[in-house]
Amino acid sequence: MEYTDAPITELPVSADTMTCPLCGHVLPKDAEACDRCDWVRVPDADTAEGKASDAVAVMLSVIPGLGHVYKGYRVLGLLFVIGAFGAILLGMLAATATAGFGLGLIPIYWLAVMFHVFGIEDRVASTVKDEGEEY
């Protein structure tokens, strides 16, 4: 467990550099890892704090259900993945009967999933904290 609340280091940090949170080595701003120690950028560090981002969840919904999994709804996410296949199949079937118009069902499904994942509560925090003590 790393504690990254340390004050900003005294090293000169310009607009396009950052310092390694572990060793303070100056790195390019968007460095993925430190070349002096074994620090690596953890893109989903927020989830550990129970703060799933709505924007990230919506973007993950490019694959329907992934955003729901990200927010802590594993079963629901799986259902939406299955639902996506259903929507595609249904869209294809409808498309053959309606000269292509049925394909419009597919993006509607995507939009619905994205709106839904944007609206639901982030469940990451509760599932993580229920197992341990509150602080």
Contact between residue 26 and residue 45 where contact means Cβ atoms under 8 Å apart: no
Closest separation in Å from C-beta 48 to Zn ion: 20
To which H or E segment does residue 26 belong?
strand 26-28
Of 71-100, which residues contact Zn ion (CB under 5 A)? none
Nearer to Zn ion, 36 or 51 (CB): 36
Q: How far is the CB of 38 from Zn ion (least distance, A)?
A: 8
By CB under 5 A, name the one of 34, 60, 84, 106 that touches Zn ion.
Answer: 34
39 near Zn ion (CB under 5 A)? yes
Q: Which stretch binds Zn ion (CB under 5 A): 24-32, 63-71, 74-82, 86-94?
A: 24-32
Q: DSSP letter at 18?
A: E
- Find out whether 37 and 25 touch, Cβ atoms under 8 Å: yes
Distance CA 1, CA 56 (A): 24
Interface pick for Zn ion out of 6, 23, 48, 89 (rule CB under 5 A): 23
- Regarding 26 and contact with Zn ion (CB under 5 A), the answer is no
Provide the token pair at 17.
């550099």
- For residue 23, what is the DSSP state? T
